[in-house]
Amino acid sequence: MPRVVLVTGASAGIGQATAAVLAAKGWSVVCASRRGQAVEGAEALVMDVDSDASVEQGTAEVLGRHGRLDAVVACAGWGVGGPFETTPLPEARALMETNFWGVARCARAALPAMRAQRSGRLVLLSSIGGVLGLPFQAYYSASKFALEGLAEAMAYEVAPFGIGVTLVEPGNVRTEFTERRRVLGPEAAGDAYSAAMTKALSVMERDERNGVDPAAVAKVVLKVLEGRRAPRRVSVGRLSERIGITGKRLMPQRAFEAAARGSLGV
């Protein structure tokens, strides 16, 4: 019997690539998104991760169709570009609603079935920006840092039931995320920040467009799901980006930040 996986954010980017790779490898894939689109060989599910009712109903529908749920891959998310000081708080809250609470909703909805099975995998798409703070994307980084802590703490709780939790931390990836990032205009950013913001975001956008293909992330997700044990964290991307994670842990803070400034456009 094929293993059943629910992939959120499956209508584009990393979520879509992950759904395609898993379907090609024989998984029974349910593609969840607000648009309700599915890749070839997978099922579509209209689900909004910002809504408690939608997530609960969607998860129940998956269980009704298949009778089990072996994995959730939480890919839904988006970004805001702008200074911390001037980013409107409603915009920041909306981002947290999807990037953090949306993942929490999906994990909570899946856990009862996984506990009953005494097996399951939760793969949560974090980011290198969840390990390294990104200037002019402070709220995006905050959402991913929060996700890192949530997953690490939750993993202790669910391990006795045979449930593994893994954070996948991509660096720069070529997806629609770059174009869909909500960026404050110079006027909204304020005179004090607009020049630095424009420079930093242009550097990050260039690096994203030159990033790895989303299929590279999808293949790592497949490896995590089919591995005997679930690693806590896996980074994906160019070595020059991934080495920053190790550098932050090993280098003195001032030395690390001095080395990182150029790559971050500040």
Known catalytic residues are 11, 126, 140, 144
CB neighbourhood size of 11 (10 A): 22
Q: At what angle do helices 102-117 and 52-66 cross, to 10 degrees?
A: 30
Rounded to the nearest 5 degrees, what angle is found at the Cα of 56, between the Cα atoms of 50 and 61? 120
Helix 253-264 vs helix 239-250: crossing angle, to nearest 10: 160
Max CA separation in the chain (angstroms)? 60
- How many Å apart are CA 11 and CA 17, to the nearest integer? 9
- What is d(CA 258, CA 211) in angstroms, rounded to the nearest whole number? 23
Cα separation, 77 vs 173, in Å, equals: 14
Query: Helices 194-209 and 253-264: crossing angle, nearest 10°?
Result: 80
Q: Is-contact 203 97, C-beta < 8 A?
A: no
CB 22 within 8 A of CB 219: no
81 burial via Cβ count (<10 Å: 0-12, 13-18, 19+): buried
User: Residues 38, 59: contact at Cβ < 8 Å?
Assistant: no
